[in-house]
Chain A
Amino acid sequence: MTSSNNLTPVNVLTGFLGSGKTTLLQRLLRSPRLARTAVLINEFGEIGLDHLLVQHVDESVVLLQSGCICCSIRDDLKTALRGLLSRRERGEIPAFDRIVIETTGLADPGPILYTLLSEPVIRHHFQLGNVITTVDVVNAGLHLSRNPEGVKQVAAADRLVLTKSDLAEAGQTAAVGEELARLNPSARIWDAAQEPLDADFLLDVMPSAPPPSEARYRSQNEGAGVPKGLRPHTESVASMSLILDRPMDWTAFGIWLSLLLNRHGDDVLRVKGILCVEGSDTPVLINGVQHIVHAPQHLARWPTDDHRSRIVFITRGIDQGQLRRSLEAFCRLRAAELAVA
């Protein structure tokens, strides 16, 4: 089953080397929800995938002229997705209704998302689903401190999956969970070693209820205690959640965000929010990773009775107070000088 707009959802499964991506994928593929799923993998690990449609992808990046690394087309991915599409149309392979891309452990998610959102053929047949990032609780400090890609993978996530928590020392899982909740408050957290698999939670854009572990990390994080272990490694990365009481002017917001990304896109690791927009009764979802912004998406309804705009920014080395002040100043821009009535 494809989505209501007939676009096939594509989920990106990422996470650092050895963080349990393939193990999670194996579990996911046993779920009826993923019975008709094609899988693209960047590297063959030791764990075999007994699945109907598995294709290997060689990594190659085509950097666009004057482009930054996040705004580059993954040529291998483009070819693989177009190939799958073509073979499905010709009936050469079973009709899949979802694709999961398992990235390499060192992959920067930027070019993958850019390819999915900007390549003309792909964007007309596929839509980006949740980005799922696995985090090895035991080695999270090492991964996040030594590899900028690890932080980008966490920032790009819609779902963060804690792995190997059964091997962690006492308190380690809580510290990692709290720090991940601080780094990316817009992502939902699931502990793969402690809780049964919930494919709907991982795949649905707006899941109904969070798993029990998530509330635990959030409540501890809000307790103002400094989590031990990871904080020194990720200190330059900060997240900010903004709540805006009044409906926003979409145009003013777009001007502000495009200007911000033009100047600071490399350091805006993630923007995700649900907006109350002037002239619209339903909320608008905004979602961006570095320079890449999804087309704004109208949701059918508000998820709760709270109809205020909520935006999460994950930034690196940006003064968050100045960011807030700037957004508020731009959103006060009015059309007083508009030439037409």
Chain B
Amino acid sequence: MCGLCGVFLGEAHWTDVTVGGTDSGGRTRRHERLHRVAQANRILKQYGLKLGDWQGSAYLLGSQTGQTAIVPSVAAVWPAAERLRKQSIDPLDARLIQVLEQD
């Protein structure tokens, strides 16, 4: 646990692992996190939600009504988003796929 802010510093989730990163001339870790947030927001904006990086150690998920949730990994974003929206977010949903195809 971080002694300053009380955040549990756990193992990196597999979605947070940088693959093809700095060693091969790709993105830095910080750049990768921001890239991940931007990518996730392409999905979340369809549901009126927005994700942000939180101190480089977690993510802050917010709704248009001001509800927020702090989550440790991108994988944890989806159940939190479904709780905030009270609806499922299904990557196989034909409407979502169509929006992404036209995006």
Q: Are A256's CB and B19's CB within 8 A? A: no
* Interface 1/0 per residue, A299-341 and B, CB below 8 Å: 0000000000000000000110011011001101101011110
Given that A258-B78, A319-B92 are known contacts, is A278 also in contact with B97, CB under 8 Å in the complex?
no
From B19, B82, B92, B103, A250 is in contact (CB under 8 Å) with: B19
Q: Are B92's CB and A279's CB within 8 A? A: no
* Interface 1/0 per residue, A245-280 and B, CB below 8 Å: 000011110111111111110000000000001111
A123 to B11, CA, bound (A): 10
**Is B35 located at the chain interface by the 8 A CB criterion?**
yes
Q: B residues bordering A, Cβ < 8 Å?
A: 11-12, 14-15, 17, 19-21, 24-27, 31-32, 34-36, 38-43, 74-75, 77-79, 82, 88-92, 94, 97, 100-101, 103
Interface size class of A (residues with CB under 8 A): 35 or more
- The segment out of A20-28, A82-90, A221-229, A290-298 that lies at the interface is A290-298
Given that A263-B91, A337-B41 are known contacts, is A280 also in contact with B14, CB under 8 Å in the complex?
no
B39 CB to closest chain A CB, in angstroms?
A: 5
Enumerate chain A residues within 8 angstroms of B97, measured Cβ to Cβ.
322, 325-326, 329
A15 CB to closest chain B CB, in angstroms?
A: 28
A284 to B32, CA, bound (A): 17
Enumerate chain B residues within 8 angstroms of A330, measured Cβ to Cβ.
91, 100
Given that A329-B97, A330-B100, A340-B34 are known contacts, is A258 also in contact with B39, CB under 8 Å in the complex?
no
Q: Are B25's CB and A279's CB within 8 A? A: yes
A333 to B91, CA, bound (A): 13
**Is A281 located at the chain interface by the 8 A CB criterion?**
yes
Name the residue of chain A whose CB is nearest to the CB of B79: A262
A243 to B97, CA, bound (A): 20
A123 CB to closest chain B CB, in angstroms?
A: 8
From A250, A263, A281, A329, B90 is in contact (CB under 8 Å) with: A263
Q: Are B35's CB and A338's CB within 8 A? A: yes
The 3 A-B residue pairs whose C-beta atoms are closest, nearest first, are A279-B20, A279-B26, A280-B20
Q: Are A263's CB and B89's CB within 8 A? A: yes
List, sorted by A's number, 30 A–B pairs whose CB atoms are closer than 8 Å: A120-B11, A249-B39, A255-B15, A255-B36, A255-B39, A257-B15, A258-B74, A258-B75, A259-B91, A262-B79, A264-B90, A264-B92, A277-B19, A277-B20, A279-B20, A279-B26, A280-B20, A284-B20, A319-B92, A322-B94, A322-B97, A329-B101, A330-B100, A332-B100, A333-B100, A333-B103, A337-B42, A338-B35, A339-B34, A340-B31
Name the residue of chain A whose CB is nearest to the CB of B31: A340
A144 CB to closest chain B CB, in angstroms?
A: 26
Enumerate chain B residues within 8 angstroms of A257, measured Cβ to Cβ.
15
Q: Are B35's CB and A251's CB within 8 A? A: yes
Q: Which of B21, B39, B41, B77 counts the most chain A CB atoms within 10 A?
A: B39
